[in-house]
C-alpha cells in the first residue's frame, strides 16, 4: 500500500522509437514489474506513473507511451510538451529500428525542450542469437549525439530499473 507522501517533483518522460521495439513492455516492467505475454499494440493508454525517491526527494515519474502513433509518424508535439526526459528505444535484433534512431533524435530536437535528457535504449538484449546491432555501434552513436545509453530486456527485466533510474537521476540533476 502506498502512503500519502508529499511529491516533490513530477517528471514527464516520453518513450519513443519504432513500432514493436518493446516500448510498452519496458513501461510495464518499470511501473508494474510485469511483462505481458500477448501484448497487443497500445491503444488509448497515455501514461503510467511510478513514485520513487531519488536523493531524498519524492519523484513521481509520469511515463508516456506513444499509443501506436509511431506507425504513422504521427507523434504530435503535444506528446513532447513538458517532457524532461526521453527513452529512445530500438530493438537490438532489428537493424532498421536502429537506423531510425537518428530520425527520432531529430524529432526530439525539433519538438522537445532543448534541455531534454535522452536515454538511448537497445531493448531485447535477451535475444542473444538474433542480435544484429553490436553494442559498440550504439555506444559510438550515443557518444556522438550526447545521449545516455543502456541495453535492456523488458522480457527478463535486465537493466530496466537501472536505465529508468539513470534517466530520472540525470533529470533530477538538471532541474
Does residue 161 belong to the site contacting ligand GDP (CB under 6 A)? no
Extract the runs of DSSP E, i.e. beta strands, from the chain.
9-16, 47-54, 57-64, 85-91, 117-123, 148-151
Give least dist CB 28 to Mg ion, A.
10
| Strand ordering across the sheet containing 47-54 | 47-54, 57-64, 9-16, 85-91, 117-123, 148-151
Considering only 126, 161, 169, 170, the residue that binds ligand GDP (CB under 6 A) is: 126
Residues 71-130, interacting with Mg ion (CB under 5 A): none
Closer Cβ to Mg ion, 24 or 159, answer by number: 24
Give least dist CB 25 to ligand GDP, A.
4
Residue 146 CA: distances (Å) to CA of 53, 61, 102, 103: 26, 23, 12, 15
Residue 102's beta-bridge partner residues?
none
Closer Cβ to ligand GDP, 59 or 118, answer by number: 118
Interacting partner of 19 out of Mg ion, ligand GDP, none (Cβ under 5 to 8 A depending on kind): ligand GDP
Considering only 17, 21, 24, 29, the residue that binds Mg ion (CB under 5 A) is: 24
Amino acid at each position: 500500500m502506498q502512503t500519502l507522501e508529499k511529491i516533490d517533483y513530477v517528471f514527464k518522460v516520453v518513450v519513443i522509437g519504432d513500432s514493436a521495439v518493446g516500448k510498452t513492455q519496458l513501461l510495464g516492467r518499470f511501473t508494474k514489474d510485469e511483462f505481458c505475454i500477448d501484448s497487443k499494440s497500445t491503444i488509448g493508454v497515455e501514461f503510467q506513473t511510478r513514485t520513487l525517491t531519488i536523493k531524498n526527494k519524492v519523484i513521481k515519474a509520469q511515463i508516456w507511451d506513444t499509443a501506436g502513433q509511431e506507425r504513422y509518424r504521427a507523434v504530435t508535439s503535444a506528446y513532447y510538451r513538458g517532457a524532461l526526459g526521453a527513452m529512445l528505444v530500438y530493438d537490438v535484433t532489428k537493424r532498421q529500428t536502429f537506423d531510425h534512431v537518428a530520425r527520432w533524435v531529430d524529432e526530439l530536437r525539433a519538438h522537445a525542450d532543448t534541455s531534454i535528457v535522452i536515454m538511448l535504449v537497445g531493448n531485447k538484449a535477451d535475444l542473444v542469437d538474433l542480435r544484429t546491432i553490436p553494442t559498440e555501434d550504439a555506444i559510438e552513436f550515443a557518444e556522438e549525439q550526447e545521449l545516455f545509453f543502456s541495453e535492456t530486456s523488458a522480457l527478463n527485466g535486465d537493466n530496466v530499473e537501472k536505465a529508468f533510474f539513470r534517466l530520472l537521476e540525470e533529470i533530477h540533476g538538471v532541474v
